[in-house]
Structure 1
Amino acid sequence: MCRMSKVLIITYYWPPSGGGGVQRWLKFTKYLPEFGWEPFVYTPENPHFEVKDSSLENDVSDHVEVMKFPIWEPYYLIDKFKKKGHNQQSDVVRKGKASPLTKLMLWVRGNFFIPDPRKFWLKPSEKVIAEILQSNGIDKVITTGPPHSMHLIGLKLKQKYNIQWIADFRDPWSKWELLDTFHLSWWARKRHEKLERKVLDTADKVMSVSKNFAGELADIAGRHVEVITNGFDHEEFEQHSHLQPDEFIIRHVGVVDELRDPRPVLKAIKELHNEGKSYKLEFIGNVNKTLQSEIEEDDVLRHLITLRPYMPHAEVIKIYRRSAVLLLLSSYSKNAPGHIPGKLFEYLASERPILALGSTEGDSAEIIKEIGAGVVCGPDEVQKLKDALVQMHEDYTSTISKSTPDVSRFSRRNLTQKLADLLNEL
C-alpha cells in the first residue's frame, strides 16, 4: 500500500456552517484519499455564519482530521446592523440604495477591515499552523476564499516556511462586486489590489470555480489559473434515484433576494394561468419580504405559489428529484457571468429540466446550453419563459422517455481527481 501524501486545507466555512461555501471543500476532502492524498482541515472554532446546517456534520469523512482554533471577529458588534441591513446590502449591489447607517457601516467594513473582518485570525493562526505542519509532516497547503484573509495565511506560510501552496478563489477579490458597496477610498482600493496581486504572484498554483473568474485573475496576475468547478456528489443522488415527481411542480431551492429576481417567471406563470394553464411554483429557502408581500397580495399568484423555509441539504436532494422543473435564478450583477450557483450542478444530477432566468451569457448559461439541460431566458423574455414552461409540461405528460445529458464531468469524484492532479504537479 502506497503511503499517502498530506495536504492542509485552510477554510473559514466548515460544518455546521451551511450554504454553498462549505460544500466545495467538504466534498474535496471526502474523495482526496481515493487519489492518494490525506486531507487535514484548519478552520475557526467559533465562526460567524448566517446559515447553519448541522446535518452537514454527518458528511465529514472519518479520514479527515479537523483542527479548530478560536477566532475573534468584529461581527458581534454589527450583528444588529447585518440582520437589519441584509436586504439593504443586496439593494446596494443592484440599485445603489442604502440608508445612511448602512452606508457608514459598509464604509467602515471596506476601509478598515482589509481584506475582510476575519483578518484578525491571521496572526494567532500562524504559530498554530506551523505546529500542525511540523507535527504531521505536511508541506502542502490550500487556502480557499472568500474570506480572502485565508489567502493571507497561505501567503505568510509560504514566505516564512516555503510550503507549497494552492490559492483557491471561489469569488473574485479586487473585482468582487461586493467591494463596490463599501465606498472604498483610493488607498483601500489599492490595498486590496496590492494584497491580491501578492497572493497571485506568490502562490504555486491558483485555481477558481469558473472560466470567467479564472480569466479575470489571469489578467491581473499574468499567469495561468486553473478551473475546477463546483459539482455534485453522485452518492447523494444515487440513493434517491427512484424518486419521481407526483405532479407538475416548478421548484426553486435557495435564497431569493434583490439580486435574484424571479418576477419575470411570476409574470409568465400568471399569464399562463389567465390563458387556462395553471402551473404550481414552490420556493424553498429565504425569500425577501418585498416579494413575499407581492405574492400574498396577488389574487392569482398566492394560489399558485408556495413558500417553504430553509431545509437541510439531505432533504433538499429528495426535493430536487420530486420536482418536475427546477428553477435557477442568476443575478444581473457585475460578477454574474462568472458566478455558477452551486445548485446548478445538483440540478444537473437530479435529471430534471432546468428553467434558468438571468444572464443568457456567461458560465452558467454555457453549461446549460452545451449539454442541453434546459432553457436559459433573459429578464425581458417572458414569452420565452411561457413557451419553455408549456413545452416542459408537455414533456412531463408525454409517455416518450427523453435521454438525459451526460454530466459525469461535474461529479465531485472526477473534480477531485483534477485537484489531486494539480497537487501532484507541485
Structure 2
Amino acid sequence: MTEGEKVLVVTYYWPPSGGAGVQRWLKFTKYLPEFGYDPIVFTPENPSFDLVDESLLKDVSPKVDVLKFPIWEPYQLFKKLTGTKEVKQGQILEEGKKSLVKRVSIWLRGNLFVPDPRVFWVKPSVDYLAGIIESNGIKKIITTGPPHSVHLIGMKLKMKQPSLTWLADFRDPWTEWDIMRQFNIMPFRWKKHQKLEQQVLKVADAVLATGKTAAEDFKRLGARRVYAITNGYDEEDVSTLKAEKPDKFTLAHVGMVNEKRNPVNLFESLEELLVADELSDDVELQLTGILSPTVLQTLEQYPSLKKIVKLKDSIPHKEVHQVYAAASLLLLLQTDTQEAHSQLPGKLFEYLAAKRPVLALGATDSDVAEILDETSAGKMLAYQDKAAIKSFVLYEYKNWKSETSRWQFKGVEKFSRRQLTKSLVEILKAH
C-alpha cells in the first residue's frame, strides 16, 4: 500500500476529550487517508477539559499518527482561587451573582492570557514541531481553534518555513465570538487580540470556516482566501439505527443549556398546552447534558412541565444518535446573542441524518434557518416568538399522533463527513 502525503493537524481537543469541539477533526482525519493524505495529529498530553468521552478513542483511525506533547495551563490555579472543584463547561461565565474572586479570575482570563490560557503551549510546540516537519517531509499543516492560541503555533511555523502550506480552521470566531465580551477585556488587550487575529488571517494560506456567514465575516476582517466547510454527520454512526415510532411524543435536546440558551417561552408553551389538555401524558421532554442553575430554576416554575421532564447527565457520543433516532422532535438552541447568525452547531447535521423534525430557537436570518429551509427538515423560530413556538409544537404533536409529516429532508447527504472531507482535499490540493 502506497503512503499518502503527510499533513500535520494541530488541535487542542482530541479523544478522550468529549463535546462538540473534538468531532470535526476526528472525522476529517478518519477519512483523509481515503483521499491520499496521511494525517499526523499533534495534541496536548495533559489537557484540561471537563467533558470526557472514552468511547471516542475507538473512532480514531489506525492510519492516524498521534503525537502528544505536555502543556501547562493555569486552570488548577483558577480552581484554587475560586474554590471550585470542577469547572463545568459554559457555566463559568453565567451572569448570576459571582464572588469577587471569581470576577477577578474571569478578568484575569480575559486580560492576562492573550489569546487564551493555552498560550503557554505555543513556543515549546513550535520548537518541537519544527523538527517533526523536517524529519517527516511535511509540506502542509492545519491548525484548528478555539483555543485560538493553536493558530499562533501555525503562524510561527509558517514564518519559520515559508514554503509550508498552512490552513487555519476556525470552529468559532475570534474577536467576534460572543463569549469574548464576557471577559471584560481592557482596550489595550483587545487591540492585542485584534492584532493577533489580523496576523493569523493574513499569514495563513487559507482560512476554513464552518459556514457561509462565518466565511463572509473572515473575509470582511481581511483573510486572503476563505472557504466554508460545515460540520457534518458520519454515515457509519447512523447506518445501523432503527427508525421506530416512539411510545411518547418526545422532544429531545442533547448538550449544554445555559442562560444564553434558556428556552423560557418553549417551557411556558409546553406548560400551557399541558394545563389546557392539548398535550397529554404521552409527551416527554428529554434534556441530556449540562444544565445551568438558571435553566433548572426556570423549570421549577412549571409544575405540569416538571412531570414530563426527563433529565440525564452527559452521555458518550456513540449513544447520542440513538437518542436522536428515538425522538419525535429535536430541539436546537442557538446562543441568544447578536452573533448567533453565523453559528452552525455540529449537532444540526446529526439531526439531519436522523431525519427527525427540528425546532430551532435563535436568529431567524441565520445559517441554521437557511439550512433547515433548504433541506425541509424543520423551522427556526425566535426565542421571543412564543405564539409561533406554541403553534409549532402543537402542530408537530398532532402530526405525530396521525403518523404524518410535512418534512422531506432533501439533500442531507452532502453533509456526510466523507463528502466534506472530499471538499477539504480539494482545498489542500489547491494550495
Superposed pair shares fold, TM > 0.5: yes
Matching residue's letter, 2:123: K
Q: Answer with 392-401 or 113-122: which moved more.
A: 392-401
Corresponding position of 1:409:
414
Question: Aligned partners of 2:191, 2:404: CA distance in 1, in Å?
Answer: 59
Question: Aligned partners of 2:201, 2:87: CA distance in 1, in Å?
Answer: 35
User: 1:17 aligns to what SS in structure 2?
Assistant: coil
User: CA offset at residue 336 of structure 1?
Assistant: 0.8
Question: Aligned partners of 1:272, 1:359: CA distance in 2, in Å?
Answer: 25
Matches for 1:28-47 after TM superposition, within 5 Å: 28-47=28-47
Change (3 A) 1:208 1:359: same
Matches for 1:115-154 after TM superposition, within 5 Å: 115-154=115-154
Change (3 A) 1:233 1:211: same
Q: Answer with 240-249 or 381-390: which moved more.
A: 240-249
Question: Aligned partners of 1:302, 1:177: CA distance in 2, in Å?
Answer: 31
Matching residue's letter, 2:420: L
Change (3 A) 1:200 1:222: closer
| Among candidates 276, 283, 287, match of residue 283 of structure 1 | 287
Question: Aligned partners of 1:2, 1:198: CA distance in 2, in Å?
Answer: 37
Structure 1, unmatched stretches of 5+, are none
Corresponding position of 1:91:
94
Assess if the C-alpha contact under 8 Å between 2:357 and 2:378 holds in 1: yes
User: 1:180 aligns to what SS in structure 2?
Assistant: helix
Matching residue's letter, 2:256: V
Question: Aligned partners of 2:297, 2:173: CA distance in 1, in Å?
Answer: 34
Assess if the C-alpha contact under 8 Å between 1:243 and 1:318 holds in 2: no
Change (3 A) 1:76 1:297: same
Change (3 A) 1:294 1:182: closer
User: CA offset at residue 88 of structure 1?
Assistant: 6.0
Deviations 1:344-366 (A, max 9, x none): 11111100000111221211111
User: CA offset at residue 289 of structure 1?
Assistant: 2.1
Change (3 A) 1:58 1:361: same
Assess if the C-alpha contact under 8 Å between 1:265 and 1:385 holds in 2: yes
Matches for 1:346-365 after TM superposition, within 5 Å: 346-365=350-369
Question: Aligned partners of 2:245, 2:429: CA distance in 1, in Å?
Answer: 41
Corresponding position of 2:337:
333
Corresponding position of 1:305:
309
State the TM-score, normalizing by the size of structure 2.
0.93
Change (3 A) 1:61 1:222: closer
Matching residue's letter, 1:261: N
Deviations 1:305-353 (A, max 9, x none): 1111111111111111011110111111232111111111111110000
Question: Aligned partners of 1:352, 1:63: CA distance in 2, in Å?
Answer: 34
Question: Aligned partners of 2:107, 2:121: CA distance in 1, in Å?
Answer: 21
Question: Aligned partners of 1:89, 1:378: CA distance in 2, in Å?
Answer: 26
Identity %: 45
Change (3 A) 1:294 1:220: closer
Structure 2, unmatched stretches of 5+, are none
Change (3 A) 1:99 1:334: farther
Assess if the C-alpha contact under 8 Å between 1:327 and 1:354 holds in 2: yes
Assess if the C-alpha contact under 8 Å between 1:103 and 1:182 holds in 2: no
Question: Aligned partners of 2:148, 2:401: CA distance in 1, in Å?
Answer: 48
User: CA offset at residue 394 of structure 1?
Assistant: 2.4
User: CA offset at residue 179 of structure 1?
Assistant: 2.0
User: CA offset at residue 294 of structure 1?
Assistant: 3.7
Question: Aligned partners of 1:8, 1:87: CA distance in 2, in Å?
Answer: 29
Question: Aligned partners of 2:79, 2:23: CA distance in 1, in Å?
Answer: 25
Question: Aligned partners of 2:65, 2:386: CA distance in 1, in Å?
Answer: 50
User: CA offset at residue 87 of structure 1?
Assistant: 6.5
Matches for 1:11-410 after TM superposition, within 5 Å: 11-79=11-79, 81=82, 83=86, 89-92=92-95, 98-162=98-162, 163-221=164-222, 223-276=224-277, 277-278=279-280, 279-296=283-300, 298-400=302-404, 403-410=408-415
Change (3 A) 1:86 1:37: closer
User: CA offset at residue 35 of structure 1?
Assistant: 1.2
User: CA offset at residue 89 of structure 1?
Assistant: 4.2
Change (3 A) 1:86 1:286: closer
Assess if the C-alpha contact under 8 Å between 2:243 and 2:326 holds in 1: no
User: CA offset at residue 70 of structure 1?
Assistant: 0.6
Q: Answer with 78-87 or 416-425: which moved more.
A: 78-87
Q: Answer with 278-287 or 229-238: which moved more.
A: 278-287
Question: Aligned partners of 1:294, 1:176: CA distance in 2, in Å?
Answer: 26
Deviations 1:269-289 (A, max 9, x none): 111112212332110111122
Deviations 1:2-28 (A, max 9, x none): 641110000000000000000000000
Change (3 A) 1:401 1:98: closer
Matching residue's letter, 2:318: A
The answer as to 2:429 corresponding to 1:424 is yes
Matched positions, count: 423
Change (3 A) 1:291 1:413: same
User: 1:207 aligns to what SS in structure 2?
Assistant: strand
Matching residue's letter, 2:108: V
